[in-house]
Amino acid sequence: MTRSVIDPITRIEGHLRVEMEVENGKVSDAWVSGGCFRGMEMVVENRTPEDAAQIVQRICGVCPVSHAHASSIAAEKAYGIKISNNARIIRNLLEGSQFLHSNILWFYNLAALDYVNPLNALKADPADAYALALEAGTSTNSDFVALKERLSAFADNGQLSIFSGNWFDAEDGTAYTLPPELDLICTAHYLEALTMQAKASEISALLGGKMPHIMTLVPGGTSFVPTDQKLDDLKGLVDELYTWVASTMIPDTLALAPHYADAFDWGKGCGRYLAWGVFENQSMEMVDRYLPMGVLDDSLSLSDAQESLITEYVGRSWYKGSDSYNAPYFTTEPEYTSYDVNDRYTWVKCPSYDGKPYEATSLSRILVAYKRNVPFVVEQVDSLLEALGAPGQISIAQSTLGRTAIRQIETLYIAGLMKEWVDELIEAVKSGDGEYFRKPEGITGAGTGFWEAPRGALYHSEEVKDGKITGYQIIIPSTWNLAPRDAQGVPGPLEQALVGVPVGDIEKPINALRTVHSFDPCTACAVHITEPATGKSFETVTSPWGVK
C-alpha cells in the first residue's frame, strides 16, 4: 500500500486536502480534510435578519446570492411573509445569473484542465480544428489560428500564464487523451468562458446593485425596481448568454466524453442524493420549484425532505465533543487538536439524513428533477444518455464523468428559464404591477431557508425575537459532500467516491483530481466559526442554536 496526498487541491474555493491509500493501482481508502476555518454564524447573532441576509453572503464570493436567498427565506418564514410575484421573478433572475456564472466557471475554468491540455493544442491544424468543431456542433466563434499563435508565445517564453500549475506531464498513459484539434477548440472555449461568466455577473450587478455580494435581495422581496433601460440591458445579456451556452456546453461535453469513457466507471460515491430545490414557481412550494425538492435513497426511490431527519456529527472534526445534533439545534465549539485520520482530521462537520451520508450536488438536483418528471430535464437527460451510447442507463450519471457531464443540462435549462423570466418581468411591468416588497407581519419567530447554491443543497435556519437573531445555523453543500467519517465510521460522499479510482501516477493522481472537481468543492463555505487572529476571543458555550 502507498499513500498519495493532494494538498492543496487547486482550482476550487478554499483549502482542501485529500489523502488516499492506494493498493494495486486503485484508491482503497480516502480522507478528505477541509483546512479552511472562518466564521459567520456568530457574526449575525443579535443582529436583524435584514442584516444577516447581507452578512452571510460574505461566506463565499462565488455563490453569495444563494446565501442571501436562503437567509431571506428563513427570515420570511419567521416573519410570516410571502413575497410578491415580481419579487419572485427578480430573485429567480438574480439566482439564475449566479448559477450561470458558477456553472460556466466550474466547467471551463476549474474542471476542464483535468481533461484539456492547451500545450497539446500547439500540434493542432487550425483548419482541422474548425472542421471538427462543425462536426461536433460546437461554437466556432474563436480564431483558432490566432489562438494557436498566442499559445505558442506562452510556450516559447516558458510562462504558461493561466494554464500553469497543472498536471499535463502526469506519468499516466490515460492522463490527457484528446486529439490536438479538440484541445485547441476547448482551449478557445475556456477563454470565451472567462467573458461569458463575466456577462452573467453583469446581470447580477444590474439586478443586485453590485457583484459579488448583492444589495437588493432582502427579506420581504427585493429593493430592485426595473426601468425600461435596465430591462433592455437585461434582455440583451440573457439572450447572449443563452446563445453561447446552447451552442457550446453540451456539444463540448459530448465531444470530450468518448476520450475519457472509463471515467463513467468510477467515482459513484454514496449513491444517495438530496436537493432542497431552487427557482420559485408561483406556488412557492418546494416540490413545485423549477428544480424541485426531493431525497433519493440507494435505489433512487424518491421522497419529500423532512427537516427532522437532518443531523450533524462532530466526533471526527475539530470541535468539542463527539455527539450528533438534530436540526435545527446544532452546536459548534471549535477545538483544534491535530490532523489524525484515525481520529479528527477536518474542520468540516458531518451532516447526515436519516442517519446516512447523502450527496448534495448539481447531479442531485438533476436526478431529483428527472424523478419528478420535469419535462425539459427528462428530455435532455434521455437525449444525453442516448448520445453517450447508454440509452436509459441513468446509472452512468452516478460517476466522475457523469457528474461532470450532466450539469450542463442544468446550465442550458437555467439559461432558457432566464429568457422566460425576463419576458414575465417585462409583461408584469407593462401591466402596472409595481409590488416588489412586503413588510413583516411580526418580528418574532423561527424559520428555515431550504434552497440551493450552484454546488448543491443549502440550509439556513434562524430564530428571531423582537427583530433580533438569537440563533443561526447553516449547512452548505460542501459540508454534505466533504463530510468525514460518521459515528459508525462510514466515509463521507467524496471519500466514498474516491475509493476505486485508478491511480497511474502516485505523485499526480489525475483521476482522483477529476473526481474531486466533479463535486465542485467550496471549503470556504463549509466552515463557519472562527477565532480572530487578532487575539480577540469569544466565549463559546453550547446552546440549542450553537455558539454564544
Band of pLDDT at residue 534, cut at 50, 70 and 90: very low
Query: What is the average pLDDT across 509-531?
Result: 81
**131: which 3 cell numbers?**
472542421
Instruction: Count CA atoms within 13 Å of residue 26 on its CB side.
Output: 9
For residue 276 the three cell numbers come to: 432542497
pLDDT at residue number 172? 76
Exposed, middle or buried: residue 323 (CB in 10 Å: 0-12, 13-18, 19+)? middle
Options 11, 365, 407, 455, the catalytic residue:
455
Which member of 63, 186, 270, 350 is catalytic?
A: 63
More confident residue, 331 or 454: 454
Q: Is the pLDDT of residue 104 over 60?
A: yes
Each residue's pLDDT tens digit, 31-79: 999 987 655 777 888 999 999 999 999 888 889 999 999 999 999 999 9
The yes-or-no answer on residue 272 being catalytic is no
All 3 cell numbers of residue 238? 440573457
Stretch 445-464: mean pLDDT: 97
146 by DSSP, 3-state: which? helix
Q: Identify the residue whose cell numbers are 491511480.
A: 503
Whether the CB-CB separation of 494 and 44 falls below 8 Å is answered with no
Q: Is the pLDDT of residue 8 over 60?
A: yes
CA distances from 300 to 273, 297, 490 (A): 8, 5, 20
Query: Distance between CA 133 and CA 293 in Å, rounded?
Result: 37
Q: Averaged over 345-363, what is the pLDDT?
A: 97
Q: Which helix (H) or strand (E) holds 2?
A: strand 2-6
Is position 186 annotated as part of the catalytic site? no
Catalytic residue among 186, 270, 350, 525: 525
| Span 88-104, average pLDDT | 98
Give me the phi and psi of 3, to 5 degrees please.
-95, 135
> What gap in Å lies between CA 231 and CA 225, rounded to an integer?
10
Q: Which percentage of the chain shows pLDDT scores above 70?
A: 95
- Given the residues 67, 189, 460, 514, the one annotated as active site: 67
Does position 391 have pLDDT exceeding 50, yes or no? Answer: yes
List CB contacts of 339: < 8 A, sequence separation 6 or more: 33, 345
- Alpha-helical runs (H) found in 80-120: 85-104
Cβ contact 248:139 at 8 Å? yes
17, 45, 60, 362: the catalytic one is 60
CA–CA gap between residue 407 and residue 194 (Å, rounded) = 18
pLDDT at 161: 76
The torsion defined by the Cα of 414, 416, 419 and 422, in degrees rounded to 10, comes to -30
Which of 101, 289, 522, 528 does the annotation list as catalytic? Answer: 522
Average pLDDT, stretch 100-111? Answer: 97
- Residue 209 is predicted with a pLDDT of 96
Q: What is the mean pLDDT of residues 190-217?
A: 96
Active site residue 63: yes
pLDDT of residue 533: 45
**For the ranges 213-222, 254-263, 307-316, 535-544, which has the lowest average pLDDT?**
535-544
With 0-12 CB in 10 A as exposed, 13-18 as middle and 19+ as buried, what is 331? buried
Which has the higher per-residue pLDDT, 326 or 385? 385
Q: How much is the pLDDT for 538?
A: 33
Is 69 labeled as catalytic in the residue annotation?
A: no
Express each pLDDT in 467-519 by its tens digit.
Answer: 999 999 999 999 999 999 999 999 999 999 999 999 999 999 999 999 999 99
Structure confidence at residue 234 as a pLDDT band (50, 70, 90): very high
Least confident range from 100-109, 157-166, 512-521: namely 157-166
Q: Which letter does DSSP use for residue 334 in this model? A: B
* C-beta atoms surrounding 65 within 10 Å: 28
User: Catalytic: 36?
Assistant: no
Averaged pLDDT score across all residues of the chain? 92
Which residue out of 4, 13, 66, 72 is catalytically annotated?
A: 13
pLDDT of residue 37: 64
Active site residue 13: yes
Q: How confident is the model at residue 543 (pLDDT cuts 50, 70, 90)?
A: very low
Residue 524: pLDDT band with limits 50, 70, 90:
confident
What is the mean predicted confidence (pLDDT) over 81-109? Answer: 97
Spatial CA neighbour of 492 closest among 397, 359, 398, 399: 359
If pLDDT is split at 50, 70 and 90, which confidence band does 83 have?
Answer: very high
| pLDDT 10s digits, 285-341 | 999 999 999 999 999 999 999 999 999 999 999 988 999 988 888 877 788 999 999
